A = this chain, B = another copy of it.
Amino acid sequence: MNQTIESLLSHRSIRKFNNQPISDEQRNVILDCARAASTSSFIQCTSVIRVVDQEKRRLLAEYAGGQPYVAEAAEFFVWCADFNRHLQIKPDAKLGFAEQTLIGAIDGALAAQNALAAAESLGLGGVYIGGLRNNPEKVSELLGLPMNVIPLFGLCLGHPAQNPEVKPRLPSSLYVHEDTYQLMDVDTLATYDQTIREYYRTRTGGNKEMSWSDQISGTLNKEARPFMKAFLESKGFSTR
């Protein structure tokens, strides 16, 4: 056990922040850690939009489905997959492959997770904002994203003003397979479902009782942002 591992294991999303800013020095080192992440074949297809403008923050909070911490956090970053940079270098670059969408999403997430890990190691907290993908076109327009750039998710960072408990994750035996994929063991899943039911009960003072299976069933009973395919294609991603 060391500082890094302790910090990673104690991760929980922070959605309430006090007013203290993040220093320039801290912000720079956080973003340096992001840049230091691995990148597929050195393609470097990640861009970050740091959003300082208060009106843009307010709109992004709204676009994300009404998440006020997007406006309130000390820092808000929008992580993008960016192949426009490559187009600036090579105007006839072969783009639009589904493979490149994967690379963009993977490389962006590797970088962002370094940023969050660095921030948390400094005593800061944060939360990813996948909700930006509720309105990807509006987000793109607001931030002036050109073709071949898409917003992947946001990241709020700031000084925590809450201390939620760590949310229990799927047990290792359902997450890690050895040599061959295994279907879930139903008893292990049932035990985990009970753990999550307890977690919500204690956290909400009995107002929410829901197993992980209940939650999944609810989520996957609805269509998942069915406009995303058309959005990606409109920006020159996953067209081939």
Give the B-binding residues of A (Cβ under 8 A): 1-5, 7-11, 13, 28-29, 31-44, 46-53, 56, 80, 84-86, 88-90, 93-95, 97-103, 105-110, 112-114, 116-118, 121-122, 127-128, 130, 133, 143-146, 149, 152-153, 166-167, 169-170, 172, 174-181, 183-184, 189, 212-213, 215-217, 219-226, 228-229, 232, 238, 240
Contacts and interface: CB of A to CB of B under 8 A. Distances in A.
Number of this chain's copies in the complex: 2
Nearest to A150: B102
Contact of A56 (B109, B144, B179, B238): B179
A205 B185 CA distance: 54
A32 to B, nearest CB: 6
Contacts of A32: 9, 172
B113 A180 contact: no
A70 to B, nearest CB: 14
A183 B47 CA distance: 11
B102 A152 contact: yes
A179 B216 contact: no
A226 B1 CA distance: 43
Given A89-B213, A97-B229, A35 B181 contact: no
- Chain B CB within 10 Å — which of A35, A53, A102, A217 has the most? A102
Contact of A31 (B52, B110, B176, B226): B176
Contacts of A43: 216, 219
A163 to B, nearest CB: 16
Given A33-B9, A35-B169, A238-B98, A4 B118 contact: yes
B5 A29 contact: yes
A184 B85 contact: yes
Nearest to A34: B175
Residue among A13, A56, A88 facing the most chain B CB atoms (10 A cut-off): A88
A121 B47 CA distance: 26
